[in-house]
């Protein structure tokens, strides 16, 4: 079998969004699964809207997702000589012709066809005139006028189009620029692309492209048109559904492997499995398992999947991605992973859905002064907590070490002295140490922050309670 060669051809008119990212992933995964090649092509012939910033944004998004390419990036704007060469071949072979019809004439043709109950299309006025090139002429493809054009789609099955319903479409505009369908075919032929996986919004372009392949005497690639991604309300995916730029998810603290996992599952499956590593996706991905129904973008499912990937990641893997979120909060300037931060990530990652949340949860470790959540302080930092807090403080001061077993024994001693259950002791201590009512295990927290910080924070909580006016204290 020939080496599988797929491609991803984004237009640099904005950021890479999730729909385009999924198309890129399907092509990349299939190439990797088949030990083939993946080509990146920048379709920038729309010079009015294409920008260098958008090109860089596409590169950034692909790199963050871990999508690498074997060939390219190719830029269509730099390949005009190649397109002109193929255009000249088609004109010389009588596969294309010059057309001087004005926009007003073409509009009139379409109105006339619609009035007659026919499809609005070009009526072939210039088809057999044998016109030579002029300053304002477009070039039209001389399309077959009878028979059918068939797409043998590996996802959708066979799709047929009647040729008499198609028209002689323009392949080179009068402004001197080639059109999309023409350059795509020339690019795919010259780049050896033999597998085209793309959204099913391209289905109507495909018969035109197949006709161009035939006219140029080239073999057809394998076509696979993937159903579109919809929002939860089953309408076309938009920003309100979460269809943001890929890099926006990076900024919100999502892991790239989680977004990759989620996007691939929008329209592809491997049994009932939901969680996939990158290695598993490459191993399992086939075109046969792409579904025929649209995928539904579920933001809550993405968040849950991200939390699962965080839980399954090591501190060594998470720290480089977490570091910008820590620095943005002024919490940790370290560029290397210290044993303390490694332990911190280890105990907090099971409780964090995003890197943003994980960074926020580390505040209690890095900040010198704890800010108490108002509700937590009202409920747990009140006079009744003074005795257990002071007892805990005295116990901790006398401990030989801060191992978790030793800490458990110290709290047990406080329970015996005070007659209180662990919850009545641990919750005020938790608020004193973290400012919150929810944290990892209290003994893990104490062992992590150490003797000095623990005692200082408990004493600060004691002072806080003593400063509160009695009328404001919630009993």
**Residues sharing a CB contact under 8 Å with residue 280, sequence separation 6 or more, in sequence order:** none
Per-residue pLDDT for 348 more than 90?
yes
Mean pLDDT of the chain: 94
pLDDT higher than threshold 90 for residue 119: no
> How large is the average pLDDT for residues 312-339?
94
Q: Is the pLDDT of residue 473 over 70?
A: no
Taking residues 137-150, report their average pLDDT: 97
Segment 437-457 shows an average pLDDT of: 94
Lowest mean pLDDT among 132-136, 194-198, 313-317, 385-389: 132-136
Closest CA to 43 of 188, 170, 218, 141: 188
Place of tokens 């609005």: 120
The two three-digit tokens of residue 237, written as one number: 């995916």
Assess whether pLDDT exceeds 70 at residue 25: yes
Task: Place 474 in a pLDDT band, splitting at 50, 70 and 90.
Answer: very low
d(CA 412, CA 432): 19
Calpha distance 25→147 (Å, rounded): 36
pLDDT digits 0-9 by tens, 386-411 = 999 999 999 999 999 999 899 999 99
Q: Give the pLDDT band of residue 475 (cuts 50, 70, 90).
A: very low
3-state per-residue secondary structure call for the chain: CCCCEEEECCCCCCCCEHHHHHHHHHHHHHHHHCCCEEEEEECCCCCCCCCHHHHHHHHHHHHHHCCCCCEEEEEHHHCHHHHHHHHHHHHHCCCEEEECCCHHHHHHHHHHHHHCCCCCCCCCCCCCCCCCCCCCCEEEECCCCCCEEEEEECCCEEEEEEHHHCCCCEEECCCCCECHHHHHHHHHHHCCCCEEEEEHHHHHHHHHHHHHHHHCCCCCCEEEEECCEECCCCCECCHHHCCCEHHHHHHCCCCHHHHHHHHHHCCECCCCCCCCCHHHHHHHCCHHHECCCCEECCHHHHHHHHHHHHHCCCHHHHHHHHHHHHHHCCCCCCCCCCHHHHHHHHHHHHHCCCHHHHHHHCHHHHCCCCCCCHHHHHHHCCHHHHHHHHHHHHHHHCCCCCCHHHHHHHHHHHHHHHCCCHHHHHHHHHHHHHCCCCCCCHHHHHHHHHHHHHHHHHHHHHHHHHHCCHHHCCC
Q: Among candidates 353, 349, 364, which has minimal Cα distance to 450?
A: 364
Instruction: Name the residues annotated as catalytic.
Output: 239
Say how far apart CA 326 and CA 51 lie, in whole Å: 32
- Comparing CA positions, the residue from 281, 356, 338, 345 lying closest to residue 318 is 345
pLDDT tops 50 at residue 189:
yes
pLDDT for residue 1 is more than 70: no
Alpha carbons 460 and 465: distance in angstroms, whole number: 9
Q: Is the pLDDT of residue 164 over 50?
A: yes
- Is the pLDDT reported for residue 243 higher than 70? no
The pLDDT-based confidence of 233 (bands split at 50, 70, 90) is confident
Predicted local confidence at residue 48, as pLDDT: 86
Note the pTM of the prediction, 2 decimals: 0.92
Give the rounded percent of residues in the chain with a pLDDT score beyond 90.
Answer: 89
72: phi then psi, degrees, rounded to nearest 5: 105, -170
CA 326 to chain CA mean position, Å? 22
Q: Is the pLDDT of residue 214 over 80?
A: yes
| 294 pLDDT more than 50 | yes
């Amino acid at each position: 079998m020939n080496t599988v060669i797929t491609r991803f051809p984004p237009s640099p008119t904005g950021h890479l969004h999730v729909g385009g990212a999924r198309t890129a992933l399907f092509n990349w995964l299939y190439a990797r699964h088949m030990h083939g090649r993946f080509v990146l092509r920048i379709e920038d012939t729309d010079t009015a809207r294409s920008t260098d910033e958008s090109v860089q944004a596409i590169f950034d998004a692909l790199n963050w997702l871990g999508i690498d390419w074997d060939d390219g990036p190719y830029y269509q704007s730099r390949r005009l000589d190649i397109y002109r060469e193929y255009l000249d071949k088609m004109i010389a072979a009588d596969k294309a012709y010059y057309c001087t019809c004005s926009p007003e004439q073409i509009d009139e043709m379409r109105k006339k066809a619609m009035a007659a109950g026919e499809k609005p299309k070009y009526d072939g006025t210039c088809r057999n005139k044998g016109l030579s090139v002029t300053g304002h002429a477009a070039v039209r493809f001389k399309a077959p006028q009878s028979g059918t054009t068939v797409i043998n789609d590996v996802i959708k099955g066979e799709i047929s189009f009647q040729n008499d319903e198609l028209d002689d479409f323009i392949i080179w505009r009068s402004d001197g620029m080639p059109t999309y369908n023409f350059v795509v075919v020339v690019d795919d032929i010259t780049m050896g692309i033999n597998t085209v996986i793309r959204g099913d919004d391209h289905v109507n372009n495909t018969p035109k492209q197949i006709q161009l392949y035939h006219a140029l005497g080239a073999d057809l690639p394998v076509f696979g048109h993937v159903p579109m991604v919809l929002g939860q309300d089953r309408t076309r995916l938009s920003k309100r559904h979460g269809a943001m730029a890929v890099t926006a998810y990076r900024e919100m603290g999502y892991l790239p492997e989680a977004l990759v996992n989620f996007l691939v599952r929008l329209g592809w499956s491997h049994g009932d499995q939901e969680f996939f590593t990158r290695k598993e996706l490459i191993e399992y991905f086939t075109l046969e398992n792409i579904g025929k129904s649209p995928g539904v973008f579920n933001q809550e499912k993405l968040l849950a999947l991200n939390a699962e990937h965080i839980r399954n990641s090591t501190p060594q893997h998470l720290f480089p991605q977490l570091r910008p979120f820590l620095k943005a909060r002024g919490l940790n300037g370290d560029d290397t992973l210290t044993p303390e931060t490694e332990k911190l990530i280890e105990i907090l990652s099971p409780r964090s859905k995003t890197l943003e949340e994980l960074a926020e949860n580390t505040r209690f470790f890095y900040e010198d002064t704890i800010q108490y959540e108002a509700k937590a302080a009202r409920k747990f930092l009140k006079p009744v907590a003074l005795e257990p807090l002071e007892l805990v403080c005295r116990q901790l001061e006398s401990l030989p070490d801060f191992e978790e077993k030793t800490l458990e024994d110290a709290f047990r001693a406080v329970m015996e002295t005070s007659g209180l259950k662990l919850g009545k002791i641990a919750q005020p201590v938790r608020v004193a140490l973290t400012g919150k009512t929810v944290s990892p295990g209290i003994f893990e927290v104490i062992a992590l922050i150490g003797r000095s910080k623990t005692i200082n924070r408990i004493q600060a909580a004691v002072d806080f309670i003593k400063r509160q006016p009695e009328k404001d204290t919630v009993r």
